[in-house]
Structure 1
Amino acid sequence: MAGRLLQANTAFWEAAYAPVRDFKEVSYVGSLHPDEVSAVIGASDVIVCCSRDESFSLVCVEAAKYQRAVLLNDHVGVANIFMQEGSCLAFDVGNAQSLANAMCFAYENPEKVEMLGVKARNTFEQYFSFEQFAKSFLAQLD
């Protein structure tokens, strides 16, 4: 897990992390430099964005750029695009069981996760590549 831990969320984080602290597969690495983010995404199979309220998820877009499957909820700003393209796994916001089910599905279905990564890359090319972004931005100016 990566990202900035706000001081106000420390108690919540400690309670959530305590049960898995000794699992070698689970770790919190804190905030990462952009070069480190690319390396982590590139070494991952699935990127989970469990934000409860996010206007735009750059990490989801970057995951799609690297052809990685994305797991997110409809409160993440890019969710509507990924969902309409069928290029993500979705879970219900604030529902730990829904998130766990989606994560188990990803673990148990690596071939489907790989296909979601391909779809995510297609979504990236269609909506988020520099060329596509520039085209959309210029169209807004007209």
Structure 2
Amino acid sequence: MVKLNQLHTGDVVLVNDEGLMREGVVLDKDLAEHMVQVDNGIQEFWYSPQDIYPVALNEEQLIKFGFEKEILDGNAAKYKKGAFRLATPVAGDFSRLEIWYREDKRHFNVPIAVHELQNLHLSMTKVPLEKP
């Protein structure tokens, strides 16, 4: 389950669509009704927060967002999109991350979800992170 206040328009999430998990994009949210409108690839539908789940951040998701991979010394990997960078000390292990944009550098020792990366990208660059 994802908290309603963590979601923003354009965020990528998983939704439970009558027992079938689908990846979708947040279109809108209604705070009064406590519902989120998501385009699940088939239809636009309103979901309650208990039917919305985070998408795990991994290399496949970063590539979908247009990041380029660069192998560093040892087994580390860096992913680049413009001046925005994301580095992992072990390629394929996203449990520890270093994210930076110009002088703003942040460290994470826990896995983050795709929607959290999108929100970080927006707060750091002032530009939404969307799939091309």
TM-score in terms of structure 2 length: 0.27
Structure with more strand by fraction: 2
Q: Please, what TM-score do these two structures have when normalized by structure 1?
A: 0.26
